[in-house]
C-alpha cells in the first residue's frame, strides 16, 4: 500500500504547563482565521466549554477545533496542562503530527512543561516553541529559550526535534513574531510556522479504512461520537464498519452520521479520507482506545497506553443521618453505574468493586483528577462519601516502592522558613534553589506523593496566598518512612441539631470552626479543627438558658470569628484515615466513620491495640 501525505491538512496539538496561555492562544488563532462572524459575540477561552474549566481557569478535557489558512485546514487539539490529566494529553497526541509547545516568557519551563514535552518527544512529534506572554514587563525570552533547549537535551530529543522554530507571541494582544523586535500585530508568523514546519499527515488512501478512537463527545440528539484521525482509507456515511475492542473481539456497527471540524462546530459530511480528524455518530458501545475498521478487513491499531494511577480513594453510598435530603441518585446501583460509565471517556481512571456492595475503589492520577470527578458527580445530583486518598504502592525486587513527585515552588524569600520546615516533615528532598528576582525564590524538591496530601492548604497559609506550587509524577522510589498527615485533632459535634451562636462561641475557644450559625449538624460530624492534636467533642447546638436576668436578644451582640468554609479539595486533604467526606449536590461535610461517641471510643481502642501489635 502506498503511503502519501495529505498536503491540504495539518494536525497539531497545543501543549504547555498550566496557565501558560494555550487556550487563549487557540482563541487568537480562531478569531484571526475568520471563523467567527464580525458581529458574533464570543466569550474568552472559548475552548474551555465545561463549567468547571471556566470556573477554575484550567483545561480538563482535550478538545478539537479547526481553522483554514491559505486553503490548508489546520486541525488543532487543545490539551490540559495538569499532569493529573495525562490521559487526555496522550489521547490528543495520537491524532497529530506536531505540537506547539507554549512557554511563559517569564516563568520558563515548569514541571508540567517537562511532562507534556516528554510525551510529545516519545511520540516522535515535531515541535514549534511559542514563547507566550512576550509583552510582559518582566519577560526574559532569550533566557527562556536557553532553558527550553536544555530541557529538550535533558529529555533526549533527536537532532531533528532540536531544530525547532521559535515564535514569540502575546496571545492576549493577538500577535506572533519570528523575532522579538518585529512589529507585526497579527498571528500570521505562527500560521506560517505550522504550515511550513508541521508535517502533513502520512496517509494510506487506497487501503481498507482504519481509525483509532482517541476521544468521545456527546450530545442529546445523536448520543456518543467517536473522535479520531483516519489512519488509512476512506469512510462514508451509512457504511457498515467493524469496532475492534481492547481484547481484540470484533463488533459490527454503522456510521449514522459523519462530521469534520470547522471552528467550534462539527460539519456534517458524506465521506472523509485518511489524514483528517473526524467524529462518527451511531456507535453506541464504542470506547476510547478501540479501533474502527473496514467491516471486511478488521485490523486493530495499537491501543493508547496511559500512565498508571498513583492515588486511590473509596467511594461509598452516603449513610449519614442527612443522607437522601439533597441528592437525586443515592443508591449503590446508581453510584456503580456512574463510576463505570466514567471509564468510557476517562482513560486514566480505574474503578474496582470491593467486598462491600456499597463501596468502590477508584484510582486516578492525583487529587485534582479525582476531585474533578467528584465535583462533576455532585453537580449531576449524586450523593456519596469518600475516604482519605492513599497512594498506590508497588513492590519491585522485594522492596516497597512509593510514587514520587517533582515539586517546584515559587515563594517570597520571607516565607522560606515555615515552608521548608513543613516540607522537611513531609520527607521532601531539595534539588535546586534559584533567586528569580523581586524577593522571590524558586525551589525544586523530590517528595513522596503522600507528602503532598494536605500540603496545598498549608502552603497557601504559610505564604499568605503569594506562593505558587506545581508538581508532576517523578517515578517510584523506596518507601521513605512514616509521614504525619495532620498535627491537629478534629472538633466533633456532640449531638444532632442546629448550630447556635452561643454553642459556637463556647466551641471556638477550642479551635477553628468550619460551620456557621444555623447550620444543621449531626453527632459525629466534624465541625472544626482542634488547637491540640487530639479529637474533642463539642456541643455547638447548646442554647443559652433564658431567665429574667438574661434576654434572648443578648447574644445578638456577640461577634463570632469568621469560620473557615472548606472547599471539596481542602476537605479531602483535611480528613484522617478514620474520617470521611460526605458530598451532596448542596453540601460538603466531614464526619467520623463511626458517628456514635461510645462506639467510636471502642473502635479507636481496637485500632490502637492492632497498631501496638
Q: Are the C-beta atoms of 414 and 349 separated by less than 8 Å?
A: no
Angle at 19 between CA 307 and CA 48, to 5 degrees: 80
**Cβ neighbourhood burial of 146 (10 Å; 0-12, 13-18, 19+):** exposed
Task: Copy the grid coordinates of residue 186.
Answer: 497579527
Coil, helix or strand for 267? strand
DSSP states of 165-200: -EEEEETTTTEEESSTT----SSHHHHHHHHHHSPP
Task: Copy the grid coordinates of residue 15.
Answer: 501543549
Task: Please tell me the predicted confidence (pLDDT) of residue 247.
Answer: 82
- CA-nearest of 47, 4, 49, 3 to 24 is 47
Sequence-distant (≥ 6) Cβ neighbours of residue 195 within 8 angstroms: 10, 69, 70, 72, 74
Angle at 433 between CA 430 and CA 438, to 5 degrees: 145
Q: Domain 394-478 adopts which CATH fold?
A: Alpha-Beta Plaits (3.30.70)
* Inter-CA distances, 543 with 294, 310, 499, 505, 506, Å: 74, 47, 9, 11, 11
Q: What is the DSSP letter of 304?
A: P
CATH code that applies to domain 203-294: 2.40.30.10
CATH classification number, 490-565, choose in 3.40.190.80, 3.30.300.250, 3.30.1540.10, 2.40.50.250:
2.40.50.250
Residue 228 pLDDT > 80, yes or no? yes
Q: What is the mean pLDDT of residues 309-338?
A: 93
CB atoms within 10 A of CB 202: 14
- Phi then psi for residue 330, to 5 deg, are -130, -5
* Binding-site positions: 19-24
Residue 478 pLDDT > 80, yes or no? yes
Chain centroid to Cα 319, Å, comes to 28
Task: Copy the grid coordinates of residue 291.
Answer: 479501533
Domain ranges (residues) in the chain:
6-200, 203-294, 394-478, 490-565
- Average pLDDT of the chain to the nearest whole number: 84
Per cent of the chain over pLDDT 90 is 37
Residue 57 pLDDT > 70, yes or no? no
Domains 6-200 and 490-565 agree in fold = no
* Binding-site positions for GTP: 19-24
Q: How far apart are the C-alpha atoms of 154 and 44, rounded to whole Å?
A: 36
- CA-nearest of 160, 184, 155, 187 to 174 is 187
User: Higher-confidence residue: 595 or 218?
Assistant: 595
Residue 553 pLDDT > 60, yes or no? no
What confidence tens digit (pLDDT) does each residue in 108-137 have? 888 778 878 888 898 888 899 999 999 888
Q: What is the mean pLDDT of residues 161-171?
A: 91
pTM above 0.75, yes or no: no
CB atoms within 10 A of CB 345: 18
CB atoms within 10 A of CB 302: 9
Q: Domain 6-200 adopts which CATH fold?
A: Rossmann fold (3.40.50)
Residue 13 pLDDT > 80, yes or no? yes
Q: Are the C-beta atoms of 132 and 170 separated by less than 8 Å?
A: yes
Q: Are the C-beta atoms of 10 and 202 separated by less than 8 Å?
A: no
pLDDT band at 200 (very low <50, low <70, confident <90, very high): confident
User: Higher-confidence residue: 495 or 8?
Assistant: 495
Q: How far apart are the C-alpha atoms of 227 and 206, rounded to whole Å?
A: 22
Angle at 37 between CA 33 and CA 43, to 5 degrees: 85
Task: Please tell me the predicted confidence (pLDDT) of residue 54.
Answer: 42
User: Higher-confidence residue: 70 or 419?
Assistant: 419
Q: Are the C-beta atoms of 187 and 150 separated by less than 8 Å?
A: no
Task: Copy the grid coordinates of residue 89.
Answer: 494529553
Task: Please tell me the predicted confidence (pLDDT) of residue 194.
Answer: 92
User: Higher-confidence residue: 310 or 222?
Assistant: 310
User: Higher-confidence residue: 50 or 514?
Assistant: 514
Task: Please tell me the predicted confidence (pLDDT) of residue 361.
Answer: 96
Residue 40 pLDDT > 50, yes or no? no
Does the CA dihedral 194-195-197-202 come out positive or negative?
positive
- Phi then psi for residue 405, to 5 deg, are -125, 145
Task: Please tell me the predicted confidence (pLDDT) of residue 44.
Answer: 41
Residue 413 pLDDT > 50, yes or no? yes
User: Higher-confidence residue: 20 or 420?
Assistant: 420
pLDDT band at 445 (very low <50, low <70, confident <90, very high): very high
Q: What is the mean pLDDT of residues 150-170?
A: 91
Amino acid at each position: 500500500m502506498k503511503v502519501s501525505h495529505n498536503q491540504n491538512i495539518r494536525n497539531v496539538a497545543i501543549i504547555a504547563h498550566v496557565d501558560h496561555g494555550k487556550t487563549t492562544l487557540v482563541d487568537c488563532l480562531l478569531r484571526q482565521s475568520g471563523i467567527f462572524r464580525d458581529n458574533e459575540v464570543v466569550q474568552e477561552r472559548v475552548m474551555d466549554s465545561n463549567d468547571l474549566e471556566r470556573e477554575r481557569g484550567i483545561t480538563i478535557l482535550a478538545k478539537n477545533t479547526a481553522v483554514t489558512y491559505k486553503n490548508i485546514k489546520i486541525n488543532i487539539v487543545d490539551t490540559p496542562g495538569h499532569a493529573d490529566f495525562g490521559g487526555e494529553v496522550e489521547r490528543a497526541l495520537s491524532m497529530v503530527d506536531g505540537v506547539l509547545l507554549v512557554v511563559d516568557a517569564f516563568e520558563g519551563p515548569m514541571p508540567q512543561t517537562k511532562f507534556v514535552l516528554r510525551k510529545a518527544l516519545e511520540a516522535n512529534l515535531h515541535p514549534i516553541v511559542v514563547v507566550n506572554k512576550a509583552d510582559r514587563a518582566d519577560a526574559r525570552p532569550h533566557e527562556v529559550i536557553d532553558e527550553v533547549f536544555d530541557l529538550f537535551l535533558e529529555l533526549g530529543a533527536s537532532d531533528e526535534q532540536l531544530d525547532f522554530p521559535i515564535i514569540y507571541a502575546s496571545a492576549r494582544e493577538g500577535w506572533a513574531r519570528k523575532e522579538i523586535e518585529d512589529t507585526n500585530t497579527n498571528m500570521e508568523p505562527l500560521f506560517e510556522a505550522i504550515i511550513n514546519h508541521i508535517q502533513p499527515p502520512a496517509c494510506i488512501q487506497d487501503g481498507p479504512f482504519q481509525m483509532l478512537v482517541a476521544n468521545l463527545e456527546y450530545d442529546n440528539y445523536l448520543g456518543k461520537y467517536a473522535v479520531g484521525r483516519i489512519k488509512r482509507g476512506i469512510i462514508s456515511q451509512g457504511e457498515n464498519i467493524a469496532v475492534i475492542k481492547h481484547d481484540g473481539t470484533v463488533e459490527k456497527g454503522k456510521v449514522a452520521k459523519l462530521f469534520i471540524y470547522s471552528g467550534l462546530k462539527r460539519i456534517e459530511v458524506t465521506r472523509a479520507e485518511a489524514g483528517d480528524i473526524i467524529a462518527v455518530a451511531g456507535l453506541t458501545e464504542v470506547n476510547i482506545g478501540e479501533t474502527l475498521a473496514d467491516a471486511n478487513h478488521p485490523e486493530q491499531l495499537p491501543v493508547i497506553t496511559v500512565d498508571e494511577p498513583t492515588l486511590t480513594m473509596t467511594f461509598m453510598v452516603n449513610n449519614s443521618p442527612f443522607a437522601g435530603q439533597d441528592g437525586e441518585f443515592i443508591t449503590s446501583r446508581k453510584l456503580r453505574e456512574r463510576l463505570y460509565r466514567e471509564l468510557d471517556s476517562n482513560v486514566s481512571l480505574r474503578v474496582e468493586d470491593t467486598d462491600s456492595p456499597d463501596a468502590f475503589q477508584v484510582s486516578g492520577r492525583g487529587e485534582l483528577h479525582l476531585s474533578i470527578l467528584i465535583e462533576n458527580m455532585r453537580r449531576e445530583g449524586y450523593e456519596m462519601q469518600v475516604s482519605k486518598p492513599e497512594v498506590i504502592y508497588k513492590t519491585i525486587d522485594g522492596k516497597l516502592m512509593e510514587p514520587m513527585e517533582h515539586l517546584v515552588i515559587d515563594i517570597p524569600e520571607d516565607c522560606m522558613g515555615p515552608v521548608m520546615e513543613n516540607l522537611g516533615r513531609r520527607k521532601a528532598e531539595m534539588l535546586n534553589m534559584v533567586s528569580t528576582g523581586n524577593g522571590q525564590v524558586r525551589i525544586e524538591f523530590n517528595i513522596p506523593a503522600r507528602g503532598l496530601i494536605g500540603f496545598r492548604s498549608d502552603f497557601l497559609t504559610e505564604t499568605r496566598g503569594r506562593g505558587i506550587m506545581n508538581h508532576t509524577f517523578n517515578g517510584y522510589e523506596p518507601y521513605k518512612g512514616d509521614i504525619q498527615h495532620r498535627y491537629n485533632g478534629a472538633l466533633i459535634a456532640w449531638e444532632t441539631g442546629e448550630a447556635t451562636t452561643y454553642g459556637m462561641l463556647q466551641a471556638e475557644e477550642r479551635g477553628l470552626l468550619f460551620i456557621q450559625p444555623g447550620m444543621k449538624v449531626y453527632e459525629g460530624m466534624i465541625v472544626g479543627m482542634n488547637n491540640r492534636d487530639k479529637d474533642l467533642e463539642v456541643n455547638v447546638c447548646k442554647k443559652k438558658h433564658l431567665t429574667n436576668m438574661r434576654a434572648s436578644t443578648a447574644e445578638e451582640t456577640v461577634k463570632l470569628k469568621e469560620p473557615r468554609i472548606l472547599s471539596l479539595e481542602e476537605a479531602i486533604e483535611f480528613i484522617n484515615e478514620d474520617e470521611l467526606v460526605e458530598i451532596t449536590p448542596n453540601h460538603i461535610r466531614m464526619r467520623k466513620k463511626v458517628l456514635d461517641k461510645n462506639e467510636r471510643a471502642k473502635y479507636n481502642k481496637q485500632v490502637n491495640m492492632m497498631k501496638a501489635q
